[in-house]
Structures are given as C-alpha cells and as structure tokens.
Amino acid sequence: MSGAPLLEIRDLEVVFDTPAGAVQAVGGVSLDVHEGECLALVGESGSGKTQAMLACLGLLAGNGRTQGSVRYAGQELVGADEAALQHVRGTGIALLSQDPMNTLTPHLRIETQLVELLLDRGLATRAEARERAVQALREVDIPDPAARLRQYPHELSGGMRQRVALAIALMGRPRLLLADEPTTALDVSVQARVLDLLGNVCASGLGLLLVTHDLGVVAALADRVAVMYAGRLVEVAPVAELFAAPRHPYTAALLAAVPRLRGDEYGRLPAIAGTPPRPGQPAAGCAFAPRCSHAVQACRETKPDLRGLEPGIDVTVACHRPLSAVAQPA
C-alpha cells in the first residue's frame, strides 16, 4: 500500500434539497482507497454509505449537492464537468450495483452490453471488442462465453447475471471498482463465487470500494473497514482489528447483533435498542448516543471527531469513550 492513494476522499459532504429543507446525508467523510486494496464501507440503511459512493462518481439524484474533495488518481471529481466525469467513469472508475436485473438492459444481447463502452469511446474495433468480451466473460468464470454473448439477460441465472455485470464493469479496464451491495440480491450458494471473483479483482491490482451492510461479506473480502452511522464515519480499522476488537460502541453492538451459525448458544440475539436516526435530524452530540449504553453527558453535547487511538495501531474512531481492546471478548 505504498504511493499515493487511488481514491482520496476529503471532508465529503452530501446535502439533499427537499421540500422540507436541506437534509445532510453524508458529513465529514475522509477515506483513501489504494491500488489492490478492498475498503469496505459498512452501515445500515440511511447511514449514507450509498450516497457517499454515488457522490464519488457524480451520480447523485438531481437535488443532491456535494462538497469537499474526491480525487481519483490526483484528479478532482467534485465540481468537475460532465465530460471529465464521463471520461473517468467506466475506464477509470467502474460501478457494480446491487441488482443485476436492473444493471443489464433486458432487450439487448450480452455482447452488445459488453462492447458498448469500448466502441463508444473508440477504444477498440468491433473484432477486438468481441475478443475482449469473450475474455472478460472467461475471467468471471462464465462457461462457454462465445455462446453466452448471443443470449439475453433473462436467459441467465441471478448469479450469472451478476458475474456478467462484473465483466461489463471490468471491460474498460478501470483501476477502481465501486461495488454497491454486490451480493445482497443473490442466494448464499452463488454469493460465494461472486465474492471470490471480487477477491481476484483486488488481487489483480484494482482498488475496490465495497459498500455493504453484510458483515459476513466484509469479513470475507475487505482489507480495511470504515463504519458509517447517521452519515458520519464512526470507525476505520483493518478488518482483523475491527472484528477482534471493535473500538466504537456502535461497531461492537453491530457485530454482536449479527446472527451467527457457530457458537454454543441458541439464545437471544443482543439487539441494539431504539431506531437509527433519520437523515435530517442532526444531533448536537454523537448520533449514536441515544442508543449507546456507554454514553455520558459529553456524548450528548459534543460531536466526537475521528481520531487515531494509540501509536502503532491503524485504527481511527469517533468516540469520546472508545472501548479498550482488553475489555473486548475476542
């Protein structure tokens, strides 16, 4: 992880103008994604994780505004004009979204959708593009790729559709892949293959920003994890560190609430009381304080900043009273 980061997000802020006034969906998010690294952005619905990712590509809904800085390979994307963004999309940064049925156009053959980008940008001749398409399908483990090119999306199974969507995303040889809940719509038996493929993508040197709520997926794929709550980062840590010793009470509670297949107990799940705040209801202090069992008065009054813990540990946490590594059951 040497050299300049591929994607550099600084103080990213996303605000939506609604009839009820401006609503802040994302605030003060700073993240780096390096080449060959998988950074997982974890959060529950409404935490702003998807909006943060869309803002990177300038794909927010019409009433959304972005502030701060997003740099891809040194190029500023916030405020960049549409032509510049177009150039980065596809060939620089590619997007893999949740539902493969919505990503693929139903009435076009797989081939058309694969070669579209290359032909549009004049990056290849039709024959070359076709060659690359076969190659791309082979890379995502699609059997008999030449025959698949002639098929339509509805003729493929869900898992295969998502792999085709991945192949399409990789056609422009991007350096960074943004994946939004790439396995949520899939059955567990096909999830595993898509996760493997995404792992290979990272291993081949691409940066991967994985947006998900599924901590199982995070554990399988991520190198570093950034946890979001109510539009803000609460903890950023290497994956092993985060799962072994979560420092933010929210991270800890979230990990505890995940139902597991292994373990002796068949008892109750440790739930987090209360409901996540809705966007647009800013709290004076820490947004998690009303649901936090460790909260003190200070937590309700001042917003904690994201800061490093001890020297030598690559963990940053936004909490007035971070949990100590010792107090955590491993």
Partner 1 sequence: MAELLLETPPTRRAGLWLDAWASLRRSRAAWVAALVLASIVVAALVGPSLSRYAIDAVDWTQASLASPPSFANGHWFGTDTNGRDLFVRVWIGTRMSLLVAVLATVVSVAVGVAWGATAGYLGGRVDGLMMRFVDVLYALPYMFFVIILTVVFGRSLVLIFLAIGAVGWLTMARIVRGQALALRQREFVEAAIALGLPARTVIARHIVPNVAGTVIVYATLTVPQVILFESFLSFLGLGVQEPLTSLGRLVAEGALEMETSPWLLLIPSIVLGTLLLCLNFLGDGLRDALDPRRPR
Partner 2 sequence: MSVAAPALLQVDGVSVRFPLRNGVPGARERTVDALREVSVEVPSGGRVGIVGESGSGKSTLARVVLGLRRADAGRVLWDGEAVDYRDAARLRRLRREMQVVFQDPFGSLDPRMTAGAAVAEALQALRSPVPRAAERVRVLQALEEVGLAPGLADRYPHELSGGQCQRVAIARATIARPRLLVCDEAVSALDVSVQAQIVNLLRDLSERHGMALLFISHNLAVVRYLCDSVVVLHRGHVVEQGSLAEVFERPRDAYTRMLLAAVPEPDPALARRRARG
DSSP 278: P
Q: Binding to partner 2 by residue 219, rule CB under 8 A?
A: yes
Residues in region 244-273 near partner 2 by CB under 8 A: 253-255, 257-262, 266-273
Q: Where are the alpha helices (DSSP H) in 180-309?
A: 188-203, 215-221, 239-244, 249-257, 297-301
R_g (Cα) of the chain, nearest Å: 21
Residues in region 289-308 near partner 1 by CB under 8 A: 290
36-75 mask for partner 1 (x: CB under 8 A)?
A: ----------------------------------------
- Among 147, 62, 138, 82, residue whose Cα is nearest residue 110: 147
- Among 222, 237, 235, residue whose Cα is nearest residue 288: 235
Minimum separation from the CB atom of position 65 to partner 1 (A): 18
Residue recorded with tokens 């290497």: 238
Tell me which of 33, 118, 178, 217 binds partner 2, using CB under 8 A: 217
Tell me which of 3, 19, 263, 329 binds partner 1, using CB under 8 A: 19
Binder of residue 290, out of partner 1, partner 2, none (CB less than 5 to 8 A by kind): partner 1
Contact 194, 186 (CB under 8 A): yes
Residues in region 89-148 near partner 2 by CB under 8 A: none
Minimum separation from the CB atom of position 323 to partner 2 (A): 17
The first and second tokens of residue 177, run together, are 């892949």
Tell me which of 10, 99, 109, 243 binds partner 2, using CB under 8 A: 243
CA distances from 171 to 136, 164, 167, 192 (A): 7, 10, 6, 22
Bridge partners (DSSP) listed for residue 38: 208
Closer CB to partner 2, residue 83 or residue 107? 107
241-280 mask for partner 1 (x: CB under 8 A)?
A: --------------------------------xxx-----
Q: Binding to partner 1 by residue 125, rule CB under 8 A?
A: no
Residues 6+ apart with CB under 8 A from 201: 166, 170, 177, 208
Tell me which of 28, 216, 280, 290 binds partner 2, using CB under 8 A: 216
Strand order in the sheet with 7-18: 21-33, 7-18, 64-72, 75-76
Q: Binding to partner 1 by residue 157, rule CB under 8 A?
A: no
- Among 4, 33, 38, residue whose Cα is nearest residue 203: 38
Binder of residue 165, out of partner 1, partner 2, none (CB less than 5 to 8 A by kind): none
Minimum separation from the CB atom of position 273 to partner 1 (A): 4
Binder of residue 154, out of partner 1, partner 2, none (CB less than 5 to 8 A by kind): partner 2
CA distances from 270 to 42, 54, 220, 244 (A): 19, 32, 23, 17
Quote the CA–CA distance of 21 and 110 in Å, as a whole number: 43
Strand order in the sheet with 307-308: 93-96, 176-180, 207-212, 38-42, 224-229, 232-238, 316-317, 307-308
Closer CB to partner 1, residue 221 or residue 292? 292
Minimum separation from the CB atom of position 241 to partner 2 (A): 9
The span of 23-31, 48-56, 74-82, 213-221 binding partner 2 (CB under 8 A) equals: 213-221
Contact 152, 107 (CB under 8 A): yes
Which residues sit at the interface with partner 2, rule CB under 8 A? 44-45, 154-155, 158, 187-189, 191-192, 195-196, 199, 213-220, 239-240, 243, 253-255, 257-262, 266-273, 275-276, 278
Which residues sit at the interface with partner 1, rule CB under 8 A? 18-20, 273-275, 290
